[in-house]
Amino acid sequence: MLKSRLLFSILLVYVNALYSQNGSNDSLQKIITQNYKLAIQYKNGDGVTIDYNKAYQYFNNAANLGDPQSIYAIAYMRYKGLGCQQDYTLAANLFAKGARMGKDNSLYFYGLCWRNGYGLPKNEDSAQYYLKKSADLGYKQALLELAMKQSENSNDSAAQVLMDQIHNAAIPDKKILNTFNKVTPHIDSRELITGDYEGWLIQYDWSGTHMVITKKLEVSLNSDADNISGQWIEEGADTVKLKARLSGDSLLFDNTKYGRKDHYSPNTYINYAFQDAKLELIQKNDSVFLAGSVEMFSPQRGEPSKPLFVALSRKGLVNMDSVINQLKLSAYPNPSSKTLYAEFTLPKAYNVNVQLYTLSGLMIYNKLSGLLDAGTYSLPIPVENIAAGTYVLKIDCGKISQSIKIVHY
């Protein structure tokens, strides 16, 4: 009888402990589920504004509680730099953790890290091993990647040579402060913008360091005051109609959308909208360039695109006869915050004096040039330490004098 009571007591303690443990597990799972749902809501913008920072925080909360899907999610966001600092090494470590848990998506991305050398040394054998394990679990993207003969960033070396050529051609030289720099005459943007351009569209990986796609790009532009229309043609095939506007020497795209394929979607067009896209209009020697970064957002994927860089040159030469050969003082950017560029054209050799005055007549900047040959010059003036307000920029050139107002903020 005593023995039976003892066994019953032991069984009762075990049952109570088991019940307590299950109750704790239920509570833990509820916390994980709650954080995961909030993360998905902010990542996808379900009823709220998309907020990748909040999404990452909630995913991280659930991951710290051991949830495999959330571990994958924060690895994915680290991989792309969504709501956090982009970091391939940290992403690869997290994908490895998810892969050890047998998650098909973590296995797939861990294989990509090995194949592309993202956060890990390139190793095709390791890549194939993890991609096959993911594919065996039915992950479709792994099957597509295994069918690819090359990795995403296989054309790095050729693209780097191309990019060096583009930068040397299209990006203007840096100007030293307080020095008169002789430059090509600056033609009004409206006169320059109309025409046909050709060049390259270059797509980087998520870190912005590996070039993964290079495509020939043609752009035709027509100007009606500040409104721009035209066509964007990739590889002579993929075409989209453009709407844009001029802002100073920048081309800003408005309400422009198109579909494009990439390494991970070779057979299906992914829809993108131009977002915060701005190309700088650059005149150098007798050529005109459009160059800069283009940011796109895919409503279909609910994410921004990889970084894109565009470099285009206008077909044909600029008609330099259209430049009026007389003193023309201009200032840019206006308003300015740190550096103001005073630009002017000399019809013949002159000694030039550039001055900056307050509206009350107090001179706060004075620069003498010495004898300058005929041509166009740019004088970078540091203005970050002067008070915000309106000033008068004046140039004296022999008996010629010209003044314009500038705004500093």
pLDDT at 262 > cutoff 80: no
d(CA 204, CA 304): 13
* Residue 100 clears pLDDT 70, i.e. is over it: yes
CA 35 – CA 39 distance, rounded (Å): 6
Give the tokens for residue 117. Answer: 């050398």
Provide φ and ψ at 285, rounded to 5°. 55, -125
Distances in whole angstroms, Cα of residue 144 to Cα of each of 130, 193, 305: 14, 42, 20
> CATH number for the 324-408 domain, one of 3.30.565.10, 2.60.40.1930, 3.40.1390.20, 3.40.50.200?
2.60.40.1930
pLDDT digit string, tens, across residues 7-59: 445 434 443 444 445 556 788 899 999 999 999 999 999 999 999 999 999 99
Q: Tell me: the pLDDT tens digits for 212-223?
A: 888 888 988 887
Greater model confidence, 65 or 327: 65
Amino acid at 22: N
Calculate mean pLDDT across residues 324-338.
71
pLDDT digit string, tens, across residues 66-85: 999 999 999 999 999 999 99
User: What is d(CA 235, CA 265) in angstroms, rounded to the nearest whole number?
Assistant: 17
- Interatomic CA distance for residues 223 and 192, integer angstroms: 9
Q: Which residues pair with 382 in a beta bridge?
A: 339
CA distance 113 to 23: 39
Structure tokens at 367: 């620069």
pLDDT tier, 228 (very low <50, low <70, confident <90, very high otherwise): confident
Q: Say what the pLDDT of residue 165 is.
A: 52
By C-alpha distance, which of 58, 4, 5 is closest to 33? 58
Bridge partners of 241, per DSSP, are 231
Model pTM score? 0.63
pLDDT at 143 over 70: yes
Q: At a CB cut-off of 8 Å and minimum separation 6, what does 279 contact? A: 250, 251, 290, 291, 292, 294, 310, 312
Residues 211 and 376: their CA atoms lie apart, in Å, by 37
Residue 124, class by beta-carbon neighbours within 10 Å (0-12 exposed, 13-18 middle, 19+ buried)? Answer: exposed
Residue type for position 246: L
pLDDT of residue 76: 96
CA dist 156 and 65 (Å) reads 39
Report the topology of domain 157-172+184-318: Porin (2.40.160)
More confident residue, 159 or 334: 334
Q: Residue 104 above 70 pLDDT?
A: yes
Average pLDDT over residues 185-196: 64
pLDDT of the residue at 15: 39
Distance between start and end Cα atoms, the chain: 93
How far apart, in whole angstroms, are the C-alpha atoms of residue 29 and residue 17? 18
- The confidence band for 204, taking pLDDT boundaries of 50, 70 and 90, is confident
Cβ 403 vs Cβ 394: under 8 Å: yes
β-pair partners for 284: 287
pLDDT the model gives residue 2: 47
Residue 187: is its pLDDT beyond 60? Answer: no
pLDDT at site 385: 86
Residue of 105, 101, 112, 114 lying closest to 134 (CA atoms): 105
| Cβ atoms of 379 and 182 closer than 8 Å | no
- What are the structural domain ranges in the chain? 25-147, 157-172+184-318, 324-408
Detail the DSSP E strand segments found in 4-72: none
Q: What is the mean pLDDT of the chain?
A: 80
User: Superfamily for 25-147?
Assistant: Tetratricopeptide repeat domain (1.25.40.10)
Torsion sign, CA atoms 205, 142, 114, 89: positive
Q: What are phi and psi of 236, to 5 degrees?
A: 70, 10
Look at 234 and 4; give whichever has higher pLDDT.
Answer: 234
- Please tell me the distance from the alpha carbon of residue 58 to that of residue 177, in angstroms, as a whole number: 47
For 356-395, the three-class secondary structure string (H helix, E strand, C coil) is: EEECCCCEEEEEEEEEECCEEEEEEEECCCCCCEEEEEEE
Contact assessment for residue 233 and residue 219, using Cβ atoms and an 8 Å cutoff: yes
Beta bridge pairs of residue 366: 355
